Amino acid sequence: MSGNKLIPMILILSILLSGCGTASTEQNEAASVLLSEADTNEPEYEIISTPYGNLANNAKNVWDLCIFDGSLYIGAGDYDVNISPANAYRYDLTDERFYTCGAIPDEQIDRFCVIKGSLYIPGCDPTGDWSKGNYYLLENGVFKTYRNIPYAVHCFDITEYDGKLFAATGLTEANESFPVSVSTDGGISFVSVKAERKSENHTFNRRVYKLFKHEDELYALNGSDLYRYDGDCFVFEASWQNRLVGGYPFYTQIAESAYFNGRTYFTTGYLFHFEDAKNLQYTVFENAIVTDLAVYGERLYVLCAKPLDNGNYLICLTVSDDGSNFKTIKAIEYGLPALSFALNDNELYLGIGDVGQSNIELKGNILKTEVLE
């Protein structure tokens, strides 16, 4: 399945922020984080080669890592040029072996979503026709395909809100519906959700890449416009035009998000956050791209990669107890950035990848190391 998969213009026209000062989103000044250099005295990393190593170029990329029920699940594939991962794999953390866990009729495993104790994969680019979209649910150790999201050429995100399952989708150019579907029966069936246009002649962007659960609200990001679900339909809440910018050409605009300490955080390559949806702010990580983030326990972890003069990257895992002040707890120099990470107690797994053409042989590696605080 092809179609126009170009990064939205708001991301292409990204602002190059640096750590040698501050930048602003309208009236808001950005916080700035300095990164620590790699410590050669710390334990070295182990390289874990994934079963996706034979795929071409960007299809090797470890787009996401998720620890679930004692195993590490790995995202791979390339929906931009239609290279399917074919199967899902898990890495057993006890016996340190890979196991297949079901066929995935999709061009890319872009993210994993844990919802009420179950593991989902949104169907980023199903290999079937365009009449319905997919999601995949882990059942008895195998991902089962559910093909029931109407007109969803893509499913980029899936989440639960108010007892309902919501899917962020991508629609064909001929479809003028709002690209979110909802299930009230636990994912057995979906219907399109209505939305109020922000003006009489407004046309919806045909994709919603991310759904945000913020406090007691559910938001959908449609292009640069944010919509809030009112229990019946999505209503226009705020425009992030000229504020939302990209620092890395992620296929799906927003790599990850998390709710922490009263704020919703997300990364486009830059780290953004908001408490009030009308007041979007960001944090600068010293000339680095922010690739992933997650909440473990009561701390926010942010992964970033800083290009070095020698062509390598300084991969840094940072942590914050308040969402404002960050410190580096792990720094590794490597030939490519890490696009994803997962923590298992003090064990850190880093998923390597990049959308460029350099060091292709390193793509798809997982670095296993320790975090010592």
Q: Structure tokens of 174? A: 């001929």
pLDDT tens sequence across 264-311: 999 999 999 999 999 999 998 989 999 999 999 999 999 999 999 999
pLDDT at 288 (0 to 100):
95
pLDDT at 199 (0 to 100):
86
CATH code of 293's domain: 2.130.10.10
pLDDT tens sequence across 84-142: 999 999 999 999 999 999 999 999 999 999 999 999 999 999 998 999 999 999 999 99
- Give rounded-to-5 percent helix, strand, coil for the chain: 5, 50, 50
For the chain, how far is it from start to end, CA to CA, in angstroms?
46
Q: Please list the residues that pair with 343 across neighbouring strands.
A: 348
* 2 domain-assigned: no
Structural domain boundaries enclosing 316: 9-370
Q: Structure tokens of 125? A: 């680019």
In angstroms, the CA 341 to CA 369 distance is 11
Cβ(77)–Cβ(59) under 8 Å? Answer: yes
Domains: count for the chain = 1
pLDDT at 34 (0 to 100):
78
* 219 domain-assigned: yes
* 4 domain-assigned: no
pLDDT tens sequence across 250-273: 988 999 999 999 999 999 999 999
pLDDT at 44 (0 to 100):
85
